[in-house]
Amino acid sequence: MAVKLLVPGATIGILGGGQLGRMTALAAARLGFRCHIFATEPDSPAGQVCDQVSVAHYLDEEALDRFAASVDVATFEFENIPAEGVLRVAASTTVLPRPEILEISQDRLREKDFLRTIDIPTTAYREIADATALTRAMRDFGFPAVLKSVRMGYDGKGQVTLTPETKPADAWRQMGGEIGILEAYVDFACEISVIVARGRSGAWATYPPVENQHSHHILDTTIAPARIAPEIAMRAEAIARHIAEKLDLVGVLAVEMFVTPKGDVLVNELAPRPHNPGHWTIDACATSQFEQLVRAICGLPLGSVEHHSDAVMKNLIGHDVEKWREALTEPLTKVHLYGKRQIQPGRKMGHVTRLFPHR
Ligand code: AMP
């Protein structure tokens, strides 16, 4: 891939102004790179830590062209950026990971179809076009089952769990999307994720699987590494690497998976960017997921993923953020706050990582 090798002093453009952009920009700054943030709102978490910020809509072509002209490479930190906006930037500067990868991950159906074509196991699923099709599919799939909107779904948004009592028309309305995907419910033993970084030379760095616990469909806690058998961990890592290779990824990819009680590993979702379950890598690993992204897209060697500590990462959601002062008094707890002024229920305000050093 013809990607210019970038050296410190170069400017990385980041589409999206959230905490993932903020932590990427901080990692970039440590290596001497500059970042230009493109966000839809002023005073964004990422914009606060960068001196170049564009505040405009993701479809504002003039603003996107100015942004593209001012950066040496661009990436994205948020999945639901309209693909047209990313493609506009890609018309005049290099965007990594490739925008096509973002398009696959933005569409749950395309994502699962892609996984099927490369022989990666997922739960059974079916495209659902309307409430009538849902009625039929509910009969075929049995209960419980999960109806998800194909687009714009994250943190459980646009997702409905179906039981024998559920009325298809109600579930269809609640899901709120134009097209749905019905999935067989996975009665998982645990949820894990694997983050892989891939450089432009094809070099790999794979973090060990971590275990994710959700509350109200939002990630609450990540336990790193996951408490799973080594054989399952190896299989999960191999799956993540296979997906990244087939996507021709340059950057960072998070693969969310279910581990069943029998030890099967099923892929649930892909995120071609740093990911919340990877936040522990900042404090517990030689190289964080954010630094790997910077290294990968700049054409630099990847860093070691070795971890000097086990870790438990806890999100500070909504008013949990008020616990920051208490967390600061714990000697092996690292506090990360995202600079969001407005506390809202369900809003990720920060996280804490508790370290358990290997002695
Ligand atoms: P998602 O938006 O697909 O990441 O789903 C959010 C969370 O909902 C997952 O992390 C799981 O805890 C749960 N979930 C999603 N899909 C399924 C499924 N097919 N079976 C069981 N739980 C699911």
Give the mean pLDDT of the chain: 96
Kindly state the percentage of the chain with pLDDT values over 70.
Answer: 98
Q: Which pLDDT value is given to residue 152? A: 76
Question: Contact at 8 Å (CB) between 330 and 353?
Answer: no
**pLDDT at 170 exceeding the cut of 80:** yes
Show me where the domains of the chain are located: 11-95, 124-184, 190-357
Class of CATH domain 124-184: alpha beta
Question: Which is it for the CA torsion 111, 117, 118, 120, positive or negative?
Answer: positive
How far apart, in whole angstroms, are the C-alpha atoms of residue 41 and residue 207?
33
Question: pLDDT digits over 15-29, tens only?
Answer: 999 999 999 999 999
* pLDDT at residue 158, rounded to an integer: 85
Give residue 154's pLDDT band: very low, low, confident or very high (50, 70, 90).
low
CA of 233 to the centre of ligand 1 (A): 20
What superfamily would CATH give domain 190-357?
ATP-grasp fold, B domain (3.30.470.20)
Residue 111 near residue 79 (C-beta atoms within 8 A): no
Centroid of ligand 1 to alpha carbon of 59 (angstroms): 30
Does residue 160 have a pLDDT over 90? yes
Check residue 155 and give its pLDDT: 62
212 strand-pairing partners: 191, 222
With a 6 Å cutoff on the Cβ, whether 153 touches ligand 1 is: yes
User: How do residues 94-153 score in pLDDT, each as one tens digit?
Assistant: 999 999 999 999 999 999 999 999 999 999 999 999 999 999 999 999 999 999 999 876
| Ligand 1 within 6 A of CB of 268 | yes
Query: Counting atoms of ligand 1 from 1, which one is nearest the CA of 183?
Result: 19
Q: How far is the CA of 296 from the centre of ligand 1 (A)?
A: 29
Half-sphere exposure of 130 (CA within 13 A, CB side): 1
Cα separation, 150 vs 117, in Å, equals 18
pTM over 0.95: yes
Same CATH topology for 11-95 and 124-184: the answer is no
Could you tell me what percent of the chain has a pLDDT over 90? 94
> Best of 151, 193, 268 to mutate for ligand 1, by most ligand atoms within 8 A of CB?
268
> 287 vs 31, 82, 98, 250, CA distance in Å?
12, 30, 23, 17
Average of pLDDT values for 155-178? 89
pLDDT at 4 over 90: no
Which of 80, 105, 159, 192 has most ligand 1 atoms within 8 Å of CB, for mutation?
159
Q: Which amino acid is at 59?
A: L
- Cα 337 to its chain centre, rounded Å, is 18
Ligand 1 pocket member 222 (CB < 6 A)? no
The per-residue pLDDT for range 227-236, each reduced to its tens digit, is: 999 999 999 9
- In degrees rounded to 5, what are phi and psi of residue 221? -135, 140
Under CATH, what is the fold of the domain 11-95?
Rossmann fold (3.40.50)
Tell me what pLDDT residue 176 has.
Answer: 87
Is the pLDDT assigned to residue 1 strictly greater than 50? no
Paired tokens of 312: 């438990």
